[in-house]
A and B are shown apart, each in its own frame.
Chain A
C-alpha cells in the first residue's frame, strides 16, 4: 500500500470506494493493539535518529544539523534529497503491524510534487552525510562515498512508498497542517525481522527532467517539536520475563503480560496469549497463528502445536501433556504469542521470506525430568538472525552484546533476555566478541561496547541506549575488514590511574590478501582518534599478515600482545609485543600462522599462544620468545580454536585447555622445567568443538559442539560429566545446531552461547 498525501485529503472523491476496498482487505492489520508516534521530544530524544539534506549543488556539505530537510528538483546538478532515520528504541519488543513516516512542511513547492521513499541500504552518519559521502570522520580523515555513481545515496531501487505535496498543502505548525505520509511498513518490519534500519531516502519522482519544485520539511532539529518528522507505528507487544520451570512430566511457564507503552494510543485491548510447543527443536520462525484466526487447542500451526489458548490475560500455564504427553529428558520449546481481542498476534510480515514471521516472539526451552538433577531450562532464548558463533560479550548481571554477521549489534538484558532496544545497525558484520566496559571503569563514563566491523569501522556504542557515541574508519581505507575483536586498556586500572586520560582500544586489521602491511591500531576510546599505529613492512617493522584475533592487554608487563598470520610460513612474525604508550614494536616471534588470541597465565609470567598448526607455545613475556626452543606442545589436531584457556594448577603447573578441530585438549605446563605434558584429551567426543571456557577454581570446562550441545567437562579428567541440549535440529537442514564459544556470567552464574540456529541462549551453570 503506497503512502498518501496529507491525512485530510487521504481519500478524496471517487477514490473513497477504492479506499474502502483497501481497508477491508487490511482489516486484520488495522485493528492492532497499540499505536505510538515516534517523534523527537523532551521525553523521546531520538538519540539514534538522523536526518539530513543531500545537496547536489554543494556535494560535500553536511547539512545534518539544520532544522530543515529539503527535497528539490531543480536541474540535474542542483537536486536535493533527504535522508530520514528514526530511533525506534521506544518499541524494543513488538510485532510491527503498520508504520507511517510523516513529514511536516515548512515551505510548499511552487507546483505539485510527488516524493518517493526508498529504504537506505548503507550505514551513514548524520554529521558526515553529504551528496557525495555517507560517512566522514576519523583520523586520518576519511570519507566513504555512496556506492551509487554520482552520489546521493545507496537505496533500494524499488520505491517503498510515495506521497504528494500540493501547492495547497498546509504548512506546519498551522492547524490542520498537512501530514505528508509514507507507508513504510515493509521497511520497518524488515528492521524488526533481522534487517538493518538505515531509514529512508526521499527523492522527487521526476528528478531528472523536472524543474522548479522544492519542498522544505522540518527536520528533527526544529524547535517546533510538533513539526518534527514522526513515525507512527501500530504494533502488538510481546510478553516479557518468560520463564519455564520443569517438573516430572510437566512444565510450568510464567510471564508478564504487556501493558500499553506510555504515550501509546490503545486501539484494541490485549486479551491473552497463544502458545505453541515443539519437541527437541525450537518452533521455527515461520510457525505462527494467523492474524484474525483463533487456532484450536492442540491444533498444529506450522511446526508447533497449540498447547495454550487463553483469552483471560493469564500469566501462567502448566503443560501437563494435554496435547501430547511430555517425555522426561526431552527438551520442549515454547513460543508465546500475545493476542488482542481481534486475534492480532505479536507477529509481523517478513519482507525477506515473504511470509509472516514470529522470529522475535518470546520463546523458551525446558527439559522435564523425574528428578531435579535431570531437569533443565533455559533462562531465556533470543533471536539474533545470525550464524555468528563468537562468544557474547557481557557485563555481568547487566547486559549482553551480540554482534552478528548481518550487520547488527543486539543489546540483551542478562537477567531476562529482553532486547533492551532494537538492534543497532552497523556498516558491516561483527564476527568477534566486542568488549563491554562498565561506566565505573570506562574513561568515557558510560557503559560502552567497542565494536569493529567488516567495513573497517570501529564504534563506541552506549550499551544502555544503543547510541553510537563515535564511529571511525581508523585506517582510512575500504579494504580493511576487522575480523578480530578489540582489546581495551583501561586507564582506570593503570598504576597510577588516569594517565593517559583515555582508554586505549587496540585492533588489528584484516586486509584480505595483503600479507605484509596490515596494521595494529591504538585508538582513543573517548574520541575515536588514532593514538598510534603499527604498520607492517614500514620503517623498521617487519611484514605483518592479517589479524584475526583479539589483542591481549598485559597490564603486568606493560605490553600489548597481538597474534597474526605469517603468510603461511615462519619467515615473518606472528606474535607481536607492542608498547601500549607509543605503539613501538618491542618484540616479535615467528611461530607460524596464528588466528587464536594469546592468553596470559594468572601470575602474568607466561604467555600461551596456540597456532594454526596446533602448537601451544609458552612465551616469556619479558623477551617475547619461547622459554626454550623445545617449549611447545603439538596437538596434531588442527588449528587452535579462538584462544587457549589457562588455569593455575598444583605448583609448579599451569593447565592449558584448548580446542582443536576434533577434540578438547588439556596440557600441563611445568614452569620450573619449561615442559609440557598431556593432561587429557576429552575422552567423550565433542563433535567439532568451540573454544573452551574455564577459570581457576571452577573445576569445569564448558565447550559447545556441532552436536547441538553445551558440554560440561571435568577439568581434572576431561570427563564429559553433563551436557545441556540446546538444539538437535537447527531448523534448516535437520542437523544439530553448531554451538558457539560460551561466555560465563559469574554474577548470575549463567552461561551464554549463540548458535547457527540464529539464536542466543542462556542457561544456569554449573549444570
Chain B
C-alpha cells in the first residue's frame, strides 16, 4: 500500500476508500480471515485496514513515516469489514524493529445481526518522552492486527530520529 501523504479532514475518507480497495484486493491476498460468530453463525471473510497518524499534528493525517523526536502519539486506526455477527476480539500488536511487542491491546466488540459487519478502533501509543524516543528505537516498526487469535493484517511504519 502506498504511503499516505494527504492531509486535512478528508483523509480518513480517503482511508475508507483505500479500505474498500483493500477489500477487493483481500480476495487476492492473504490479509483476510474467515470469521465465525461466537454462536456458530456463518463464516465471513473479515478484512482489516490499518492506518497511522500522529495526534500531535492537526487533524491527525495518515502517514507512514514519523520522527521519534518530534511526534506526540502514534495513533493506530483499524477498520474492520466483513466481520461475522457475534462477539469478537481484536488484538493490536505494536512491534518494535527487533520483533518484540511494545504494546498489545485487546478489544472485545460485538457485531450485531443487523449491523454492516464493520468496526473501527483507535489505539494510541504514547511516544513523546517515551524510552523508545529517548533511546532512538528507529527503523521499521510493524503493527499486526488479529481477529479472534488469527492474524488478519500487518502494516509497517518507519521511525526516524
A residues with a Cβ closer than 8 A to B are 116, 118, 121-122, 146-150, 153-159, 203, 205-208, 387-390, 405-407, 429, 431, 454, 481, 483, 510, 512-513, 546, 548-549, 565, 595, 612, 638-639, 641-642, 661, 688, 690, 706, 730, 732-733, 735, 738, 740, 756, 758
List of A residues within 8 angstroms of B101 by Cβ:
387, 405-406
Q: List 16 A-B contacts (CB under 8 A).
A: A147-B107, A148-B108, A148-B109, A150-B112, A157-B87, A158-B148, A206-B39, A207-B39, A431-B126, A431-B131, A481-B124, A510-B126, A513-B55, A546-B129, A735-B98, A738-B137
Q: Which of the residues B72, B103, B109, B131 comes within 8 Å of A390, measured between beta carbons?
A: B131
List of B residues within 8 angstroms of A148 by Cβ:
87, 108-110
Within 8 A of A (CB), among B108-161: 108-110, 112, 124, 126, 128-131, 134-137, 147-149
Does B34 have its Cβ within 8 Å of any Cβ on chain A? no
Q: Which of the residues A154, A156, A546, A733 comes within 8 Å of B97, measured between beta carbons?
A: A733
Q: Is the CB of B39 within 8 A of A208?
A: yes
List of B residues within 8 angstroms of A481 by Cβ:
124, 126
Q: Is the CB of A157 within 8 A of B38?
A: yes
Q: Is the CB of A756 within 8 A of B100?
A: yes
* A546-B126 Cα distance, complex, nearest whole Å: 11
Q: Which 7 A-B pairs have the closest CB atoms?
A: A548-B129, A154-B108, A595-B129, A121-B106, A732-B98, A513-B55, A733-B98
Does B102 have its Cβ within 8 Å of any Cβ on chain A? yes
> Chain B's nearest CB lies how many Å from the CB of A624?
22
Of listed B98, B130, B147, residue having the most chain A CB within 10 A: B98
What total of chain B residues lie within 8 Å of the partner, measured CB to CB? 40
Does B42 have its Cβ within 8 Å of any Cβ on chain A? no
B residues with a Cβ closer than 8 A to A are 38-39, 55-56, 60, 69, 72-73, 86-89, 96-104, 106-110, 112, 124, 126, 128-131, 134-137, 147-149
> Chain B's nearest CB lies how many Å from the CB of A193?
13
A513: nearest chain-B partner, CB-CB: B55
* A203-B110 Cα distance, complex, nearest whole Å: 14
A659: nearest chain-B partner, CB-CB: B134
B147: nearest chain-A partner, CB-CB: A157
* A706-B131 Cα distance, complex, nearest whole Å: 12
> Chain A's nearest CB lies how many Å from the CB of B22?
22
* A148-B90 Cα distance, complex, nearest whole Å: 11
Q: Is the CB of B39 within 8 A of A387?
A: no
List of B residues within 8 angstroms of A118 by Cβ:
38, 87
B96: nearest chain-A partner, CB-CB: A387
> Chain B's nearest CB lies how many Å from the CB of A157?
4
Q: Is the CB of B149 within 8 A of A156?
A: yes
List of A residues within 8 angstroms of B88 by Cβ:
157
Q: Is the CB of A512 within 8 A of B148?
A: no
Q: A154-B108, A157-B147, A387-B96 are in contact. List 4 more A-B contacts (CB 8 A).
A: A147-B108, A387-B101, A642-B134, A733-B98
> Chain A's nearest CB lies how many Å from the CB of B101?
7
- With A389-B135, A510-B126 known to touch, is A158 a contact of B149 (CB < 8 Å)? yes
> Chain B's nearest CB lies how many Å from the CB of A69?
20
Q: Which of the residues A149, A638, A642 comes within 8 Å of B109, measured between beta carbons?
A: A149
B85: nearest chain-A partner, CB-CB: A208
A454: nearest chain-B partner, CB-CB: B126
List of B residues within 8 angstroms of A157 by Cβ:
38, 86-89, 108, 147-148
> Chain A's nearest CB lies how many Å from the CB of B135?
5
* A157-B89 Cα distance, complex, nearest whole Å: 5
List of B residues within 8 angstroms of A740 by Cβ:
131
List of B residues within 8 angstroms of A512 by Cβ:
55, 72-73, 124, 126
Q: Which of the residues B60, B99, B108, B131 comes within 8 Å of A146, measured between beta carbons?
A: B108
A156: nearest chain-B partner, CB-CB: B89
> Chain B's nearest CB lies how many Å from the CB of A111?
18
Q: Is the CB of B135 within 8 A of A738?
A: yes
List of B residues within 8 angstroms of A483 by Cβ:
126, 129-130
* A735-B129 Cα distance, complex, nearest whole Å: 23
Q: Is the CB of A387 within 8 A of B108?
A: no
* A386-B88 Cα distance, complex, nearest whole Å: 26
A119: nearest chain-B partner, CB-CB: B89
- With A155-B87, A156-B149, A481-B124 known to touch, is A431 a contact of B107 (CB < 8 Å)? no
* A146-B107 Cα distance, complex, nearest whole Å: 9
B112: nearest chain-A partner, CB-CB: A149
Of listed B86, B109, B130, B134, residue having the most chain A CB within 10 A: B134
* A549-B129 Cα distance, complex, nearest whole Å: 9
A120: nearest chain-B partner, CB-CB: B108
List of B residues within 8 angstroms of A121 by Cβ:
89, 106-108
A565: nearest chain-B partner, CB-CB: B128
* A206-B56 Cα distance, complex, nearest whole Å: 46
List of B residues within 8 angstroms of A147 by Cβ:
107-109
List of A residues within 8 angstroms of B126 by Cβ:
431, 454, 481, 483, 510, 512
B99: nearest chain-A partner, CB-CB: A732
> Chain A's nearest CB lies how many Å from the CB of B107?
5
> Chain B's nearest CB lies how many Å from the CB of A743?
15
Q: Which of the residues A387, A510, A612 comes within 8 Å of B100, measured between beta carbons?
A: A387
> Chain A's nearest CB lies how many Å from the CB of B53?
11
* A407-B105 Cα distance, complex, nearest whole Å: 9
* A756-B137 Cα distance, complex, nearest whole Å: 11
List of B residues within 8 angstroms of A116 by Cβ:
38
List of B residues within 8 angstroms of A661 by Cβ:
134, 136
* A122-B128 Cα distance, complex, nearest whole Å: 25
List of A residues within 8 angstroms of B97 by Cβ:
733
- With A148-B110, A638-B69, A661-B136 known to touch, is A595 a contact of B100 (CB < 8 Å)? no
Of listed B72, B86, B97, B126, residue having the most chain A CB within 10 A: B126
Q: Which of the residues A387, A565, A688, A738 comes within 8 Å of B129, measured between beta carbons?
A: A565
Q: Is the CB of A156 within 8 A of B148?
A: yes
* A405-B125 Cα distance, complex, nearest whole Å: 11
* A2-B112 Cα distance, complex, nearest whole Å: 27
List of B residues within 8 angstroms of A639 by Cβ:
69, 129, 134
* A524-B161 Cα distance, complex, nearest whole Å: 40
Q: Is the CB of B56 within 8 A of A513?
A: yes
* A732-B98 Cα distance, complex, nearest whole Å: 5
